[in-house]
Every structure is written in structure tokens, then in C-alpha cells.
Amino acid sequence: MAESESQEGDDYNRGKMVENIKTDMEELLEEMEKLTVRAAWMAYSYTAIQSNADLSNAMQHSEDAFLMCKEQMEKKWQEVLLE
């Protein structure tokens, strides 16, 4: 009788483990799909930037403006915290 209960417990644990593995694999596959899409867009963006000098210059200008704005926001934030 105890052996039968033990067997059922082992079957339940094994089934639960298989279900957990299946869920983990699905999550990993979904994450890989997301990374693949991101890599494809990065390659596309790189190609577009390399083939268009104006776009490269515009992106550099946008990055510079963003960094200046970020710096100003951090300074203002520090001033607010000190008040």
C-alpha cells in the first residue's frame, strides 16, 4: 500500500517536473524570439546608418541633445533634493 502511494507521488512529481520544463522552454523560446527580432532591427538600423550619412549625423545630433538634456535634468534633480 505504501509502495502504491509512493509510486503515485513519484508520478505526480515527474509530471510536475515535465510541466515545469515545458513552461521554462516556452519562456526561453519566447525570449529568443524577442532577441532575434531585436538583432534583426539592429542590423537593419546599422545598414541604414552606414548607407546614409545624413541619418548618421542626425542620430549623433539627437544623442548629443539627449545627453545634454539628461545632464541638465540630473542637475535640476539634485537642486530639488537639496532644497
pLDDT interval class at 1 (50, 70, 90): very low
* pTM for this prediction: 0.47
Contacts of 56 (CB under 8 A, 6+ apart): 49, 50
Higher pLDDT, 33 or 81: 33
Total residues belonging to the chain: 83
Question: Using one digit for the tens of pLDDT, what is the confidence trace for 32-64?
Answer: 999 999 999 988 888 877 787 787 788 889 999
Residue 5 clears pLDDT 80, i.e. is over it: no
Residue 7 clears pLDDT 70, i.e. is over it: no
Domain locations in the chain? 1-51, 54-82
